[in-house]
Amino acid sequence: MITYLIRRLAYALPILLGVNLLTFALFFGVSSPDDMARLHLGGKRITAEAVERWKVQHGYDLPHFYNPAGEGVAKVTQTLFVQKSLKLFALDFGAADDGRDIGREIGKRMWPSLVVALPTFVLGLGAYLAIALFLVFFRNTAIDTVGVILLVALMSISGLFYVIGGQVLLAKWWQWVPISGYAPGLSGLHFLVLPVLIGMVSGIGDSTRFYRALFLEEAGHDYVRTAHAKGLSPFRVLFRHILGNAAIPILTGVVVVIPRLFLGSLILESFFGIPGLGSYTIDAIQAQDFAIVRAMVFLGSLLYILGLMLTDLSYAWVDPRVRLQ
């Protein structure tokens, strides 16, 4: 297994390098260092000297990939790409273009993201599985049919509608919770109710249908028929046999998501004023802060790769037939 993990980590390096290269090319394809300088310095009374000075101070005066003025290896190392992107592999995120430390900011902002994403994920998963099992229990009845119709309807609604609808209904009309906001610690619990609820509800349609389909597939297998024939109660068959055997595909979808919970949700964080990493990324894109954008894209890729590795490990853990070599 150790060999397998080392090999996977080695595969990750070119992927991360490619992601970096792509981010770099895309960013500088639409935005030149001069543009970035002008945006950061403001819209009024900006002189050419001020733009040049900003570029020098922030290291954007270097050529993109090849520096003919450099000597030897400096022709490659004294370039924007190497100076700005390769340090990320040592998890050195550097400073944002406004001078603030990115690593510190990520460390601070990942907690609000996690505080919303984790309960949404755990409670949501529990709710989706429970509803899916409920529908499977009543399969081929009116309850199942009505349930599926409702799920399809819920799937068809935009996530933004849930956000605005939830804010209007629960916070504005019924006045149960604050419309938006965030506070750290227990005093901020009431702020979490609405985003967590909306996060759960917006995923209920597709996730529940997916789990229902998994359970129905399992329910059609011979071992389930055998269990019924042996006289086991329907509840025991459902929770012990069907749920247990459907765990592997559930894990596929679930474990890969876990590391990325730190990254937060772009829409939820923006609408609820949650100071997480989702809103950090959006703000950075709007402010053309390449330092933050590249750090967040790198982090996202890294966590995704980590999620895939965890998924593989969890396969081996839940299914004795799987061996990682």
Partner 1 sequence: MVFALMGCQEPINSPHPSGAALGKTLFSSFSERPKHLDPARAYSSNEIELIGQIYEPPLQYHFTKRPYELEPLTLTAMPHLTLLDKQGRVLAPNAPAEQVAQSVYELQLRDDIRYQPHPAFVPAMHSVALRTVEGLADFPERASRTVTAADYVHQIKRLADPRVSSPIYGLMRETILGLGELGDRLAARQQKGEPIHLEVESLAGAVAVDARTLRITLKGRYPQFIYWLAMPFFAPIPPEVERFYARPGMAEKNLSLDWQPVGSGPFFLAENDPNRVMRLVRNPNYHLESYPGRPDLRLPLIDQAVYSLEKEDIPYWGKFLQGYYDSSGIASDTFDQAIRVAPDGTPELSAEMQGRHLQLVTALRPSLWYVGFNDLDPVLGGRGNAARKLRQALSIALDWEEFISIFLNGRGIPAQGPIPPGIFGHREGAAGLNPVTHIWQQGRLQRRSLADAKQLLAEAGWPQGRHAQTGAPLVLYLDTMAGGADAKARLDWYRKQFAKLGVQLVVRATDYNRFQDKMLKGSAQIFEWGWNADYPDPENFLFLLYGPNRKAGLNGENAANYQSAEFDRLFVQMKDMQNGPARQAVIDQMRALVQHDAPWAFAYVSKSYALRHGWMAPRTPNLMANNTLKYTDLDPSARVAYQQKWNRPALWPLFAGLAGAGLLVTVAWRAWRRREAAQT
- Positions in the binding site for partner 1 (CB under 8 A): 30-32, 35, 38-50, 53-54, 57, 95, 98-101, 104, 108-109, 112, 134, 137-138, 141-143, 164, 167-168, 171-183, 187, 190-191, 270-273, 275, 279-280, 283, 287-288
Q: Amino acid identity of 63?
A: P
Which residues are 95's β-sheet partners?
A: 101
* Minimal distance, residue 219 CB to partner 1, in Å: 15
CB of 163 to partner 1, least distance (A): 9
CB-nearer residue toward partner 1: 52 or 308: 52
Query: Shortest Cβ distance from residue 324 to partner 1 (Å)?
Result: 40
Q: Are 63 and 79 in contact (CB under 8 A)?
A: yes
- Please state the separation of Cα 117 from the chain's center in Å: 9
Residue 49's identity, in one-letter code, is: E
Nearer CB in complex with partner 1: 108/260: 108
SS3 per residue for 255-315: HCCHHHHHHCCHHHHHHHCCCCHHHHHHHHHHCCCHHHHHHHHHHHHHHHHHHHHHHHHHH
Closest distance between partner 1 and the C-beta of residue 267, in Å? 10
Q: Which is nearer to partner 1, 70 or 178 (CB)?
A: 178
Q: CA-CA distance, 256 to 259, in Å (whole number)?
A: 7
Closest CB to partner 1 among residues 99, 244: 99
**Structure-token pair, residue 117:** 């994403």
d(C-alpha 84, C-alpha 92), whole Å: 10
The contacts of residue 178 (CB under 8 Å, 6+ apart) are 171, 190, 191, 194
User: How crowded is residue 269: how many other Cβ atoms within 10 Å of its Cβ?
Assistant: 25
Nearer to partner 1, 7 or 100 (CB): 100
**Shortest reach from residue 155's CB to partner 1, in Å:** 20
Q: How far is the CB of 199 from partner 1 (least distance, A)?
A: 16
In the complex with partner 1, which residue's Cβ is closer, 14 or 29?
29
Rounded Cα distance, 272 and 198, in Å: 11
Q: Which residue has the tokens 């900003």?
A: 54
Closer CB to partner 1, residue 6 or residue 183? 183
CB of 279 to partner 1, least distance (A): 7
